[in-house]
Amino acid sequence: MLSVGDVHPRLAEDLDSLPDLLDATRKAAGEALAGLAERAAAVPPGDVDRAPLPLEGAGARGALEEFSRRWEGGFAGSAGPRYLGFVTGGATPAALAGDWLAATYDQNPASSLDSTAADLERETVGWLAELFGLGAEFSGAFVTGATMSTVTGLAIAREWLGERAGVSVSEDGAAALGPVTVLSGSAHSSVLKALSFLGMGRSSLRKVPVLPGREAVDVGKLAEVLETLDGPAVVVANAGTVNTVDFDDLRAIAALKRRYGFWLHVDAAFGGFAALAPQYAALTAGLEQADSVVVDLHKWLNVPYDSAVQFTRRRDLQLRVFSNNAAYLGEIGETPDFLHLTPENSRRLRALPAWFSLVAYGRDGHREIVERCVTLARDLGARLDGSPRWRLLAPVRLNVVCFAPAVDRDIDALVRAIAEDGTTFLTPTVYDGRPALRAAFSNWRTTAADVERVFAALERVAAG
Ligand SMILES: Cc1ncc(COP(=O)(O)O)c(C=O)c1O
C-alpha cells in the first residue's frame, strides 16, 4: 500500500529500472533514425481515435509501447533527407545529443542564480552572432522560432517608436503610441501575426512595391514612401523570402535608415545562413546594420524544434519591454538574466543542441550543409526546367525551388498525390498570383541521390 511520503510505485519502478528504460528508448530512437531515410516523407492524415486519460499509469515502458503502437506510424519523415516542405531542417547527430542532455539536466536558464547554464546560452548566442556577421554591439537570446523572434524584435521596435514619440509603451500601452507605420516589400505572414499580437495591428503594415519579377523591395519606392511620412517608422526587410529566397538590398536600405531614421528589423529566418558561404555571403551584406534580426535555428542550423535566436542592438529597450521584476528573482544586474529579455520567463536550455552542433561541426561543417543544399536545390531546379511537365517560376537563388506544372492543375490535389507517393513532401504556395509548389532544401542528410529520387517521383506523379 502507498503511504504518504512514498514515491508512486510506477515512478519507483521506473527509477529502479532507469538504465534499462534509457536503453530501450535509445534503441527505439536508433531504429527510428536508422529507418529515417526510407520512411515516408509524409503520412497523409487519417482518423485518429483518442484514448481516454490513463488513470492507473502504464509506467514508462508501457508508454513507449503505446507510443509505438498508436502514434509512431503516423509521424512524418520530416527529419529525413527528402522532406522538402515548408523550410524544415533535421537534427544533426550532435544537436540530437545536445537536445537529449537539455532534457536530462533540465536547466532553466531564465536566471543565473543557480547555474552556469545561462552563460552557455550567452556563449552560443555570441558564436551565432559571429556566424551571421553581427558585431559585438548585438546581444540576443534563444526563443522558440522565427515568429517569436519577430515578436521580440518588433516589441523592441515598438518601444523605440515610443522613445521617439516621448511615450513609454511598456508603461502606458500601445494605445499611448497611436497608429504606427510598418513598411515591407514581401513581409512573411508571421510579421502580421506579430503586429496583431503586439497591439500594433495588422493594418499597420504597408506593402511597398517590389522590383519587377522579384520579391525584393524596390528601394527607390521605399524612399518615396519614407519621404511622405510625418514620424518614424519600422521597416521590415527580408534576407530570404519564403517562396523564392529573394533578398532585399540591405545595404541600400541601411543607407535610407541613416537618412530617415527608422527601425530596421530583418527577417533572416533561413536566408541569414547565406552568410556562412563565401559565394553567397554578399546577399546578407548590410545585415549588421539592422536594429533587430531574426534567425531560425530549427531550419538551416539543423537543431531539433523549437529553436531560433533574436538579436538586437538595443538591449536597454528590450529590458524595458520584458523585464520581470520580483524580489524572489534577484536583482537586474549589468548583464540582465534572460527572463528580463524574452517573452518567456522559465524556459528550457534551448541553446544546448545548437552549442553541441557548433562544437561538433564548426563554421566549416555548417557552411558545407548550406553549400550542399544550394547545389541540390539548383540541381532539382535544372531538372524541372528541362522537363516538359514543369515550369520554374523563379531562378533558384539559394535553397528553394519555386515551380508549377506546365499545364494548369489543382495544386492541392498535386500536393496530396506527392504526399501519398511518400518519396518527398512539398508545400503549396501562390507566387505572382499563380498556384505553385515549393521544394526547400535545408536538411543536413540530403544528397544528390535524393534529388534524383525526388525528381523521379515528381515526374511519376505529374504523369499519373
Ligand atoms: C522568412 C520566414 N520568416 C519567418 C518564418 C516563421 O518561422 P517559424 O515557423 O519558425 O516561426 C518562416 C518560416 O518558414 C520564414 O520562412
C-beta of 296 in contact with ligand 1 (< 6 A): yes
Domains in the chain: boundaries: 35-46+56-103+362-464, 107-347
Residue 458 Cα distances to 39, 394, 405, angstroms:
17, 18, 10
pLDDT at position 1 is 61
What is the Cα–Cα distance from 377 to 264, expressed in whole angstroms?
A: 30
Strand partners, 266: 237, 293
Ligand 1 site, residue 245, Cβ cutoff 6 A: no
Distance 87 CA to ligand 1 centre (A): 8
Kindly state the average pLDDT of the residues 232-238.
98
pLDDT-derived band at 2 (thresholds 50, 70, 90) equals low
* Fold type of domain 107-347: Aspartate Aminotransferase; domain 2 (3.40.640)
Check whether 145 has a pLDDT greater than 70.
Answer: yes
What would the pLDDT profile of 11-24 be if each residue is shown by its tens digit?
999 999 999 999 99
Assess whether the C-beta atom of 242 lies below 6 angstroms from ligand 1: yes
Q: Which tens digits make up the pLDDT trace of 330-352?
A: 778 889 999 999 999 999 999 99
> Once rounded to an integer, what is the mean pLDDT over residues 377-390?
98
Question: What pLDDT, in 10s, does the model give residues 102-138?
Answer: 999 999 999 889 999 999 999 999 999 999 999 999 9
Å from CA of 167 to ligand 1 middle: 31
Find out whether the beta carbon of 269 lies less than 6 Å from any atom of ligand 1.
yes
**Mean pLDDT, range 228-253, rounded to an integer:** 98
Q: Whose CA is nearest to atom 4 of ligand 1?
A: 146
Task: Give the mean pLDDT of 146-163.
Answer: 98
Residues 6+ apart with CB under 8 A from 418: 424, 425, 426, 457, 458, 461
Report how far ligand 1's centroid is from the alpha carbon of 146 (Å).
5
Q: What percent of the chain has pLDDT over 90?
A: 95
pTM, to two decimals: 0.97
Distance CA 108, CA 329 (A): 13
The whole-number pLDDT of residue 327 equals 81
pLDDT reported for residue 332: 82
Please report which confidence band the pLDDT of residue 328 belongs to, taking 50, 70 and 90 as the band edges.
Answer: confident
| Mean pLDDT along residues 73-97 | 97
State if residue 188 touches ligand 1 by the CB under 6 angstroms criterion. Answer: yes
Protein residue closest via CA to atom 14 of ligand 1: 87
**Rounded Cα gap, residues 379 and 450, in angstroms:** 11
CATH number of 35-46+56-103+362-464: 3.90.1150.170
